[in-house]
Amino acid sequence: MLSGSSRRLRLLRLTTYGKVFESFNAPRIIFRQNCWRKSSTTWYPPARGALFFDFPKSVRAGDRQSTAHRDWAECVLSIPLDKRKVTEVYLDRLKTILTRSSPHSISVRLYQKGHAATAASSTLVDAIIHSARRWRSLDLDLSRFELSQLEDLPPGTFETLETLSFHDLTQQTQAVTVFQSSPRLRHLTLRPLYESASYFPLFLMPWSQLTLLNVSDSSLGGCRMMLMQCSNLQSAVLQTSHEWDFPVHTAASSVVPLPFLKTLTVTFSGRPADTIGGVEAFFIPLALPSLTKLDLTFDMDAYEDWPTEVFTDFQRRSPNIEEINLLYCTITSQGFIAMLRHASALTTLCVHNSWNCIDGDFFEALRYDRVGPAPLAPKLQDIDFWCVGDFEEHLFEEAIRSRWWKDDALLSNASESPPSVVRLKTVSVGRDDSGSQNVSDELKVLVDEGLELYFS
């Protein structure tokens, strides 16, 4: 049996080639790649990713089969496939590990090395499928494998499953329903080849219980529909089309609140349609009152008129956004000003390679004036601009100086009301024009006083 210290081992990962795990009298578990290995009195052929037991001499031969991994709280299997034939020895060892890890949960990853044969995929799934009730995590990356073997399992098989990932399921043509009865499923990743047809209609999932969604799908309408069903979602990462692919009238939908979503990352690929663009169609129905971070990435060769009115309505329904990151965005200076006018909680703003969003009007609007109108983004502390357009440097400097002060300056003017904006912390600006890259003496003073300024 394993020693007391060994029993405290909570997790054993078997995913790194050449890594040896030892624990007192427990057998060594060796994960090798392309090597012959002698265990006891038998030589085993080079099966990539094969797992070998190497018992210390102190363990009697009679105890070797009973020396087990019953004390592992979790066993993580990473099974790569290649062109080699899956041997009986390989399968026997695999079944032994699964048997000895019972009754604990298992994280399983099946992935393909090169062009593995479909028969090898099916054979391995047959070897491990008896343990499906204990799978806590399942990651499938097999382009020549269909889920029919899993679909034949009885309802309730995946009651333990918490994390599910699919990659490159180019052969999948039938609906996937077996995971609908997975009460613990919280994390779902669907990352097929982006160029392939939409997979959204094939996957029937318990959407309302998911908390993390990571999806790549060529259908913008399908991605939006998936997202809108996830009423308990906390984080979402989406890669989809820049074009609304459903009928035009379906873009205007009733508002759907996702009350727990905190982070949203969306990548729009390709060119938008002439009728309705991706940004407009995507944000029309969304209300995200808990959203704090929004990342938007666009195709660098695409152009879409920024839907200022639609995005402003979205901001009103999502008033707690603290961080916005934009990449290759076609928003104009006026659209950008409107965005910041409705960003009362914004603290971090990062805009890269968005060539038309900054000009003199923007920095004049950003400049804080004690007696002027309500300031833009009053909580803004960190600014990161890179290749955002042409502007006059003195307007930039005035905007930065208006949002900076020393602590003793406030104390010396105690009779005045404190500024209604938060003091800046970090300002980073990279120019994409021929303007001067030298920091003025006035800004150098702010740096000496504590402002972190990066200007290039």
Report pLDDT digits (tens) over 28-43. 333 333 333 344 444 3
pTM listed for this prediction: 0.80
pLDDT tens digits, one per residue of 172-200:
778 888 899 999 999 999 887 555 667 77
Mean pLDDT in residue range 217-237:
93
Greatest Cα pair distance, the chain, in angstroms, is 89
Residue 176 DSSP code: B
Is 80 exceeded by the pLDDT of residue 66?
A: no
**What is the spatial distance between Cα 331 and Cα 308, in angstroms, rounded to a whole number?**
9
**What is the spatial distance between Cα 283 and Cα 315, in angstroms, rounded to a whole number?**
10
- Confidence (pLDDT) at 370: 87
384 strand-pairing partners: 350, 428
56 pLDDT tier (thresholds 50, 70, 90): very low
For 187, the token pair is: 């994390």
Is 80 exceeded by the pLDDT of residue 302?
A: no
Which DSSP string do the residues of 104-158 spell out, in sequence order? Answer: SEEEEEEEESSS--HHHHHHHHHHHGGGGGGEEEEEEE-TT--THHHHTSPTTTT
